Every structure is written in C-alpha cells, then in structure tokens.
Amino acid sequence: MNLYAQRASNIRRTWALILGFLVVVIAVGYAIAWYYGNPFILYVAVFIALATNVYAYWESDKLVLSLNHARPATREEFFDFYTVVENLAITAGLPKPKLYVIDDPAPNAFATGRDEAHAVVCATTGLLAMMTRPELEGVLAHELSHIKNRDILLMTIAVVLAGFVAIVADIFLRVSLYGGGRSDNKQGNAILMVLAVVGIILAPVAAKLIQLAVSRRREFLADASGALLTRYPEGLASALTKIGSANIPMRRSSHATAHLFIDEPFGRPEGSKLAWLENLFATHPPIAERVKALLGSRA
C-alpha cells in the first residue's frame, strides 16, 4: 500500500471509529432514558460535557503548554527548529505556527491549537539535541500534518463524546445508589434492567477504547502525511526508531495530553507478556508498526 492509499484508508477508519462513538453515546442515552423514564439527567450530562470540552477546545493551546511547562522557542536559540518549521509550513501551505520547547531529555514533540491560524508546535530539548536535520524534518512534518489534517478538531470531538459517556454513567451510578429508576421497570423487566446497568457501567470503558483507537489511527495518518510532505519517509522512520530506542519517560506528563505527543510520554514497558493489552490502552501504535508502514510503503 503506497502513502496515498494509506492516508485514504486511515481517514476512512477514523471516521468509522467516530461513528462507533456515536453508536455508544446513543445506546447509553437510550438505556438511561428507558431506566429512569426522565431525560433530565441526560440533558444535564450533555450540558456539562459540552461546556467543559468547548472551553478546553478554545483554550487548548494555553492549557496544554501550561500542563507541560513549555516556553517560547526563539530563532537564535533553536535555529534548526525554527527554520525547518518555516520551510515545511511554506511547503504545506500553512501559516507558521508558534514554536515552544520543553526542557526535558526525553525525545518528544506535539502540535496543538484549535485551527491552522492558532496552531502551536512544541518539541523537547532532548528531541532537538538527538535528531539529525532530516530526522527533525520528519518529526516536524508529522506535527504539521496533525494541524493540516484538523486532528485537533477530530480529537476534541472524541474527547467530548468520551466525556459525555463518562459523566452520564457516573450520574446514573450515583442516582442508582439512592434507589432511582422506574417502578414498572423494576417489577417487569429485571433482565433488561440488569443488561442496561451493565451496559452503562461498561460504556465509559468502550468510549475510552474508541477514543484511543481514534488517536492511534490519527498517528498513522500523520506519519503518512508527514512522509508525503518531506518526500523522505526514511527521515521520520529513523526519528521514530531513535525515539523508541531511547524510551525515556518525560519528567512531567499527563494522561490528558498524552495523545498529542508523537509517542507515549510515559515510556513503554519492555518485554511485557501483556503487550497486546498495553497496546489496546495505548494512545499510540507501536513504533515498529509505524516504521514498517513508512518503509513498506516505499516498496
């Protein structure tokens, strides 16, 4: 599969996952509406989830930079970082994003911001020190591709939906402790009630798994798009290999922003017998799979 076909495939799979998200949301809403016979709790949950995530979307760049203790990057101090982003932004037809750095030896980078005009690219000092210029171009092309592909918007939708499901399930469980629910349901539909309760309890886990799956697909898409931008997949493949080999957890990391980075900011456990389970709950696909997709597409 060439890079163009891989990019198209990833777009289709990502939107299929978002559709799965919507199915989970509708199913949870229906189950709770049936259980209580009152949509008021549903309205409250929707309002809280939307209000929280709309604020997070508009202030995403400030929140993420603050959480990761990033500082502005100047052209004088980080010349290669600055000039590579300038050149790639021109090639991609994007406004030059604001540049920030994190003083951390772990090699990593991320992009954030609500749109192309309000975008930020941030790299760790460890990444800037470790990469050759072609490797740095690969990493930064990946981050600019997140901006170009509107991944920030898509991931915000995923966060809204996952937050909605989690909040609704939490309200349901709290109210249930006080004997909520319709009496007619309790008397005549015991099996359906049990199924509804189990489904609502498990829904946040399902929503989180879908959110993580969306994040992993967007990483593959950004890899493919970044390789198209530089016309040199080997640069990004080499950079990812270095990042994976270093496997250094960042000094400060948050699960709230982990999906934004080019690789897991917590490091990856080595030689685990439960690798399949760890990958299921990971925000990023395994480095080896990403490198194979990049280099295999050249064949």
Give the pLDDT confidence of 169-207 residue by residue, as tens digits: 776 766 666 655 555 554 445 665 666 666 666 766 766
pLDDT of residue 7: 59
Structural domain span for residue 11: 3-296
Query: How many Å apart are CA 205 and CA 174, to the nearest integer?
Result: 17
Where do the DSSP E strands lie in the chain? 71-72, 98-102, 109-112, 120-124
Query: How many Å apart are CA 62 and CA 257, to the nearest integer?
Result: 12
Instruction: Give 133-154 pLDDT, tens digit per residue.
Output: 999 999 999 999 998 887 776 7
> What is the tally of structural domains in the chain?
1
In the predicted structure, residue 232 carries a pLDDT above the cut 90: yes
Which of 135, 137, 143, 264 is the catalytic position? 143
Interaxial angle between packed helices 190-230 and 3-36, expressed in degrees from 0 to 180 and rounded to the nearest 10: 160
- Which residues lie below 8 Å from residue 110, measured CB to CB, with a gap of 6+? 64, 121, 122, 143, 257, 260, 261, 262
- Pairing, β 109-112 against β 120-124: antiparallel
Residues in the chain: 299
Bigger pLDDT: 60 vs 3: 60
pLDDT of residue 299: 40
Active-site residue flag, 143: yes
pLDDT of residue 11: 64
In the predicted structure, residue 91 carries a pLDDT above the cut 70: yes
